[in-house]
């Protein structure tokens, strides 16, 4: 992983990021030789050490290590490429990386967990985090927890990007009609399958027109489960109603309305500190993306909330994370 990510970062001129994701189900575990899914705690314990080793390997090349000299037949100074000697609970690594750093120094590290273990992993290792927040209150709580955890690790809190799914219409009525039309295109068995996957436990024997029961112990994505359970309880939704909502947004914020309304909502989230930015998901592609870029982005640009032209060279620079290299 260290070699692959460093190679892409180098080839792209320092415009690469690595999204660290732990396996979430038994099928992924089986692909890696596990008889059963490791516990949530074990997965994140392993992930922390894994990221530490990868970052150690990225940092094997010290300043001045690349010394291309055709006449001397030399590409780098071996004395400036140090050796990693790691002995941990999960990994034993001896060696050094054979890929020089890119112009941004290393890939940007991204993480998206919102459980206690996910927050800890992101606080220790990430430069940027993704978060699924159906409401601004959930986003603010996540931001508070992340900031507290990062300060405990004596690190600057990572940037927070919130997911947003926009349904844009000429007015609220038109946008809501579009949402209903899209929802109706999803067969109910598929909605229920998506909900069950997101929850991490079976709902096949439950009353679909009744409330969602208290969650069972699961080793799947705990943070997403908690978000969906809270949504159902807060809004008094049945399992069938929750499945309809989840099929549309997967637990992310759903902005439904005309372009100014969507822009107003994004501005409010940003100004109150719920997030540093957004990752935009389209309900339909390319139509949703086109509607957002042509109708919402101009409003955000006029308000100086969106910068349409990159000002930096590397991904880290454009995100405002760091200039130059960061090993």
Per-residue pLDDT of the chain (327 residues; tens, 9 = 90+): 999 999 999 999 999 999 999 887 777 878 878 888 888 899 999 999 999 999 999 999 887 777 777 777 777 788 888 899 999 999 999 999 999 999 999 999 999 988 899 999 999 999 999 998 989 999 999 999 999 999 999 999 999 999 999 999 999 999 999 999 999 999 999 999 989 888 878 898 899 999 988 766 555 566 778 888 888 888 899 999 999 988 888 888 999 999 999 999 999 999 999 999 999 998 899 999 999 999 999 999 999 999 876 678 899 999 999 875 544
pTM, two decimal places: 0.86
The whole-number pLDDT of residue 198 equals: 82
User: Tell me, what's the pLDDT at 327?
Assistant: 46
Residue 88, both tokens: 């941990």
Q: Are 131 and 114 in contact (CB under 8 A)?
A: yes
Instruction: Answer whether the bond into residue 226 is a cis peptide, omega within 30°.
Output: no
Task: Tell me which long-range contacts 313-317 makes (C-beta under 8 A, separation of at least 24).
Answer: 313/13, 313/14, 313/103, 314/13, 314/14, 314/15, 314/102, 314/103, 314/104, 315/14, 315/15, 315/16, 315/17, 315/104, 315/108, 316/14, 316/104, 316/105, 316/108, 316/127, 317/104
Q: Which of 126, 118, 104, 102 is nearest to 52 (CA)?
A: 126
Count the Cβ atoms, other than its own, within 10 Å of residue 327. Answer: 13
- Rounded Cα distance, 303 and 315, in Å: 24
């Amino acid at each position: 992983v260290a070699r692959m990510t460093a190679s892409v970062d180098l080839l792209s001129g320092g415009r690469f990021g690595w999204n660290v994701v732990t396996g979430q189900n038994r099928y992924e575990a089986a692909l890696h030789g596990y008889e059963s899914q490791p516990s949530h705690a074990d997965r994140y314990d392993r992930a922390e050490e894994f990221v530490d080793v990868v970052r150690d390997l990225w940092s094997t090349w010290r300043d001045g290590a690349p010394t291309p000299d055709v006449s001397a037949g030399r590409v780098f100074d071996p004395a400036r490429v140090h050796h990693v000697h790691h002995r941990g609970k999960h990994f034993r690594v001896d060696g050094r990386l054979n890929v020089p750093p890119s112009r941004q120094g290393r890939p940007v590290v991204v993480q998206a967990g919102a459980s206690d273990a996910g927050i800890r992993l992101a606080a220790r290792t990430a430069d940027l985090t993704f978060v699924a927040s159906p409401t601004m209150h959930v986003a603010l709580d996540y931001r508070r927890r992340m900031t507290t955890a990062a300060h405990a690790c004596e690190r600057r809190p990572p940037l927070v990007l919130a997911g947003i799914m926009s349904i844009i219409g000429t007015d609220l009525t038109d946008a809501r009609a579009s949402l209903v039309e899209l929802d109706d295109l999803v067969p109910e068995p598929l909605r229920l399958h998506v909900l069950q996957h997101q929850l991490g436990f079976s709902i096949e024997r439950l009353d679909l027109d009744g409330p969602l029961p208290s969650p069972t112990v699961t080793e799947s994505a705990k943070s997403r489960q908690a978000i969906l359970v809270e949504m159902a309880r807060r809004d008094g939704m049945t399992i069938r109603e929750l499945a309809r909502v989840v099929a549309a947004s997967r637990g992310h914020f759903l902005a439904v309305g005309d372009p100014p309304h969507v822009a107003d909502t994004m501005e409010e989230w940003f100004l109150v500190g719920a997030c540093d930015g957004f990752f935009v998901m389209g309900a339909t592609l390319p139509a949703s993306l086109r509607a957002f870029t042509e109708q919402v982005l101009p409003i955000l640009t006029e308000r100086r909330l969106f910068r349409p032209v990159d000002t930096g060279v590397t991904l880290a620079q454009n995100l405002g994370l760091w200039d130059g290299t960061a090993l």
